[in-house]
Structure 1
Amino acid sequence: SNNNGGGGSGTSDPTINSLPGKNGNVKVLNYALTLEILEADLYRQALNLASGRPLNDNDGKLRDASAYVMAPGVGNLGAQSAAGFAYLRDFAFVEAAHRDFLRTAILGLGDTPVSPNAKGYQFGKAVAPNLRAILRALLPLEETGTRAYLGAAPFFVNFESAATKNLIKAAVGIYSTEARHSAALHYVLESDIGPNGTEAGVPSNSRVSLSGSTLPYSDQGLGDTFEYFSTPASVVAAIQPLIVK
């Protein structure tokens, strides 16, 4: 039972329990923060690449949004190039806002946020300086983040408390935003916006179930009625190539 968040020390998930935090809710927030730090940094690098800037331009900090203009030769998505770059720019700032919100929330709970990886983050392989390659590199990360929030939701504790309800509202708000990001990237890349169980580079094909059985519905074989989720352990394993060791 996940009912030990007020004074207890953790949740029923060993991966989340391994994270710092005085109770289960802070551990869940630090799990989310771990992912948002990664996403924000890789989006920042991707935006710099698309803008013709060094990956760690401005000492690894975002400039004002107006400073980012698509570099010549980057826009290879035809009529979708302008939208693709706008999504990339806007989402970079959204991920940074998610990161900063979670840090502030953890500090507000009197606890310590996890720190960024000291050696930084990298894409699993070199990314060509064009929008198609850049957005394709980001897409598995974005979808993994979406599924990670859904997979972590059951591990909040003290569900009956007002504080936990507020945290869940915030988490669902971020989750829905990540899902919109994923759909937008799919759209400009002209691929299935999903959700689907065959996303390249995304862990887990699990979907919501009831008493161990699939829910009693028919999606006529489309497979897009419920979002898939990923367990914390599978997410942590999936992001390892993105963390500089």
Structure 2
Amino acid sequence: MNMYRIFRAIEEIDPEVYERINTRREAMKEFAQVGKKLSLAALPLALGAMLNKAYAQSNTSASVVDILNYALTLEYLEATFYSMGATQGSALIPNANDLTAIQKISADETAHVNFLKAVIPQLGGTPVNKPNFDFTANGTFADVFSNYQTFLAVAQAFEDTGVRAYKGQAANIMSNSTVLQAALNIHSVEARHASKIRLMRRLNGFSNSVKPWITGNDTGGIGSSVQPVYAGEDNTVQAGVQITGIGGLSISASAASEAFDEPLDMQSVLAIASLFIKS
């Protein structure tokens, strides 16, 4: 097997391949070291592993079915959470108006689950099974279904994640305009949920400073346990334009971040969701 010929062929296809791995010399050195420890038959697998590592960060392509199953996992999370909260009734949710709102959000999330479970088979896929959830996040939110403040804080984190998650996958489902439209319809509802939950937190006096929108990467008083949900939300540059000085106006960084919501990639969203998934 002429490994140098293989690397030259890869170079012709992707001149930046060595920037992904390191340098050409380092790549060959790394492979040579691996080769000393492996049989000749295993060398192609070792090369494949090294190239997978090189391209893993940049390969963001996923099938529409994969993305819908990803969305279904998140909708399972939210639907189960709100259903369990609504079931507690006045023991958790102290006033009738709030209970009605939570029941409405629960119904919306259940509708999203049912829609995704129906459309995935139409695209030739199989819906993922609902995971088992731990909404205490291994004890971080131990009183989530007995303390209304904690319940709303977790709800805010879920909704803000959901908004960013749908936005993060919009470009990857553009090949199917019907699915894209449906996803955008869900996205806008998730945004309304997020705003409503934030307002409920404020009206109940749990966080007087929280707004219906995200300011910078502020968690709205929840704390560092949910900071990954807000990573990158302090961005003030859109499409290469610095918003803080646009049009000669004096726009603060906080106002600039509030005017634009940022997407969140699949890896980051799943890392957040994994805190609440047992299996």
Tell me the TM-score normalised to structure 1 length: 0.71
- 1:78 match: none
- 1:209 match: 238
Give 1:132 shift. 2.6
Find runs of 4+ consecutive structure 1 residues off by over 6 angstroms: none
Q: Where is the helix percentage greater, Structure 1 or Structure 2?
A: 2
One-letter amino acid of the structure 1 residue matched with residue 83 of structure 2: R
CA shift digits 1:196-235 (9 cap, x unpaired): 332431143256832x555657682213211122111111
CA shift digits 1:88-107 (9 cap, x unpaired): 11111110110110110101
Say if 1:146 and 1:175, in contact at 8 Å, map to a contact too. yes
Give 1:38 shift. 1.1
Separation (CA, whole Å) in 2 of partners of 1:100 and 1:199: 33
RMSD after superposition? 2.5
1:123 aligns with 2:136: yes
One-letter amino acid of the structure 2 residue matched with residue 220 of structure 1: I
Separation (CA, whole Å) in 1 of partners of 2:87 and 2:242: 43
Question: What fraction of aligned residue pairs are identical, expressed as a percent?
Answer: 29
One-letter amino acid of the structure 2 residue matched with residue 39 of structure 1: E
Say if 1:203 and 1:235, in contact at 8 Å, map to a contact too. no
1:193 aligns with 2:224: no
Separation (CA, whole Å) in 2 of partners of 1:84 and 1:144: 21
CA shift digits 1:93-139 (9 cap, x unpaired): 1101101101101012222111111x344232212524333212211
- 1:67 match: none
Count of residues paired in the alignment = 196
SS of residue paired to 1:189: helix
Say if 2:72 and 2:117, in contact at 8 Å, map to a contact too. yes
Separation (CA, whole Å) in 1 of partners of 2:172 and 2:184: 13
Separation (CA, whole Å) in 2 of partners of 1:170 and 1:232: 19
Unaligned runs of 5+ in 1: 1-11, 18-23, 52-69, 76-80, 159-163
1:239 aligns with 2:273: yes
- 1:9 match: none
1:148 aligns with 2:165: yes
Tell me the TM-score normalised to structure 2 length: 0.63
- 1:30 match: 69
One-letter amino acid of the structure 2 residue matched with residue 165 of structure 1: S
1:225 aligns with 2:259: yes
Q: 1:16 to 1:137 in 2, by over 3 A?
A: farther
Greater length-normalized contact order (CA 8 Å, ≥ 6 residues apart): 1
Unaligned runs of 5+ in 2: 1-56, 203-209, 220-225
Larger radius of gyration: 2
Q: 1:233 to 1:214 in 2, by over 3 A?
A: farther
